[in-house]
A = this chain, B = another copy of it.
Amino acid sequence: MPSLVLSNPVFAAYVAAAALLVLKMASMSWLTAYRMMKSRSGFRSPEDANPGIFNPAPRHGQLDRDEYVDRIRRIHQNDYENIPPFLAIGLLYVLTGPDPGLAQVLLATYVISRLLHFAAYVTARSHELRATLWSTGSLVMIYMAGACLVAAVDALSR
């Protein structure tokens, strides 16, 4: 019976993947903050336009949408649309006792697809390339969800 201990190599692979994905998401927050500070643009709350350590010389338009900052916000949005459900279903997939080799390939594919998606998005590559990389991860997640659903329905109908 599969279990949530690190001596289970499928679970250990899941923990490594989850940690990398959480660090990736957290990096988007910090990168947004970095770009806001560097450009003093793309703020969103009225009080952020006040003078302070973060904004020593306020100027008009600092609350406007700024593409340099907004690009990271969009990448971050793509993360929070995708990564939390992946983390949830990935853990359940581990608990269905999948083939270890397949599970590790799927987990690695997901992490790599998200890192390449970031690289393609931040450098403004074509919509087609970005979509292909996103789709790869989405299909991995859909496969895991389907496997979980089949396993759960099978168990419930016994």
- Using a CB–CB distance below 8 Å, which chain A residues touch chain B? 1, 4-7, 9, 12-13, 15-16, 18-23, 25-26, 29-30, 33, 43-48, 50, 52-55, 67, 71, 74, 76, 80-85, 87-89, 91-92, 95-96, 121, 124-128, 131, 134, 138, 141-142, 145-146, 148-149, 151-156
Do residues B127 and A19 form an inter-chain contact, with CB atoms below 8 A?
A: no
Show 23 residue pairs from A and B whose CB-CB distance is below 8 angstroms, ordered by the A residue: A1-B5, A4-B4, A5-B95, A9-B155, A9-B156, A12-B156, A15-B151, A15-B152, A16-B152, A18-B148, A19-B89, A19-B92, A19-B145, A22-B145, A29-B82, A29-B138, A45-B71, A47-B125, A47-B126, A47-B127, A50-B127, A54-B131, A83-B85
Do residues A46 and B23 form an inter-chain contact, with CB atoms below 8 A?
A: no
Shortest beta-carbon contacts, A-B, top 10: A84-B84, A6-B155, A19-B149, A15-B152, A16-B152, A87-B88, A19-B148, A12-B155, A22-B145, A48-B127
CB-defined contacts of A52 to chain B, threshold 8 Å: 126-128
Bound-complex Cα distance A9 to B155 (A): 8
Bound-complex Cα distance A141 to B30 (A): 13
Assess A46 versus B67: contact at CB under 8 Å? Given A12-B155, A155-B7. yes
Number of copies: 3
Bound-complex Cα distance A92 to B33 (A): 27
